[in-house]
Chains A and B, each alone.
Chain A
Amino acid sequence: EPEVTQTPSHQVTQMGQEVILRCVPISNHLYFYWYRQILGQKVEFLVSFYNNEISEKSEIFDDQFSVERPDGSNFTLKIRSTKLEDSAMYFCASSGVSGRGGTDTQYFGPGTRLTVL
């Protein structure tokens, strides 16, 4: 069964450093997402991406964040200058197009645990 994959599973970085989190969405999906989950809290939407551009983003997704689909398979989240409060699990998700219009069910990857020291 197709699945979303993410690398690395765990990333440790120093405050102020740049990190890139990588995702390979399900191959025939067209919508891609990043979510964040701080330890013990709920999953929070960061950004959605369609047709090579950001379609929605939350207040969390400030200028320190960027996303890119550098080729036909990868979808990346870059944090330019990490802060302590960026420590969290970051989940990538992807979805297709539903027959009713709008997006179909989102499937999540296993996550990348980011630890900022």
Chain B
Amino acid sequence: GQQLNQSPQSMFIQEGEDVSMNCTSSSIFNTWLWYKQDPGEGPVLLIALYKAGELTSNGRLTAQFGITRKDSFLNISASIPSDVGIYFCAGQPDNYGQNFVFGPGTRLSVLP
């Protein structure tokens, strides 16, 4: 079945630094979603991407839908302590099924 890989698995950065993480697959996806999950809580939607090449921003967050439709990246600029958490990408496969496949997540730690 379709699988998503995320890199890096974890990262430690200084407050104020920019962050970049990505999500890749060997399969084509129609939709990419980026979620953030805090401990003990449900994933919170950050950005949704619907078209190949699409670049979308949400405050300090920017995400792009890769033109091959097999990848996406998420950038966070000027990180702050509350950016700490696990960032999941989720993709909707090309068969227009209804479920999303989740990546394993990137754990972000922000050092003061």
Q: Which of B33, B88, B100 has the most CB of A within 10 A?
A: B100
Sample (11) of A-B pairs whose CB atoms are under 8 Å apart: A35-B102, A42-B103, A45-B100, A45-B101, A48-B99, A91-B43, A101-B96, A102-B31, A109-B42, A110-B42, A111-B42
Cβ contact within 8 Å between A105 and B99: no
Given A56-B99, A107-B45, 19 further pairs, Cβ under 8 A: A4-B42, A6-B42, A42-B102, A43-B43, A45-B101, A48-B99, A56-B98, A91-B42, A91-B43, A101-B96, A102-B31, A102-B92, A105-B33, A105-B45, A105-B48, A110-B41, A111-B41, A111-B42, A113-B40
Kindly identify which residue among B45, B88, B97, B99 contacts A42, using a CB–CB cutoff of 8 Å. Answer: B88
In the complex, the number of residue pairs spanning A and B with C-beta atoms less than 8 Å apart equals 65
Q: Which residues of A contact B (CB under 8 A)?
A: 4, 6, 31, 33, 35, 41-45, 48, 50, 55-56, 58, 89, 91, 95, 98, 100-103, 105-111, 113
Q: Which residues of B contact A (CB under 8 A)?
A: 30-31, 33, 35, 40-45, 48, 50, 88, 90, 92, 96-105
Q: Provided the pairs A108-B42, A109-B42, A110-B42 are in contact, do residues A56 and B97 lie with their beta carbons within 8 angstroms?
A: yes
Cβ contact within 8 Å between B43 and A108: yes
B69 to chain A, nearest CB (A): 14
- For residue A91, which residues in chain B have a CB less than 8 angstroms away from its CB? 42-43
Give chain A's interface secondary structure class. Answer: strand
- For residue B48, which residues in chain A have a CB less than 8 angstroms away from its CB? 105
B60 to chain A, nearest CB (A): 20
Instruction: Name which residue of chain B comes closest to A9, CB basis.
Output: B40
Kindly identify which residue among A43, A102, A111 contacts B102, using a CB–CB cutoff of 8 Å. Answer: A43
Considering the chains assembled together, what is the distance between the CA atoms of A88 and B56 in angstroms?
A: 33
Cβ contact within 8 Å between B98 and A102: yes
Q: Provided the pairs A42-B104, A55-B98, A101-B96 are in contact, do residues A108 and B33 lie with their beta carbons within 8 angstroms?
A: no
Instruction: Name which residue of chain B comes closest to A95, CB basis.
Output: B98
- For residue A107, which residues in chain B have a CB less than 8 angstroms away from its CB? 45
- For residue B44, which residues in chain A have a CB less than 8 angstroms away from its CB? 108
- For residue A108, which residues in chain B have a CB less than 8 angstroms away from its CB? 35, 42-45
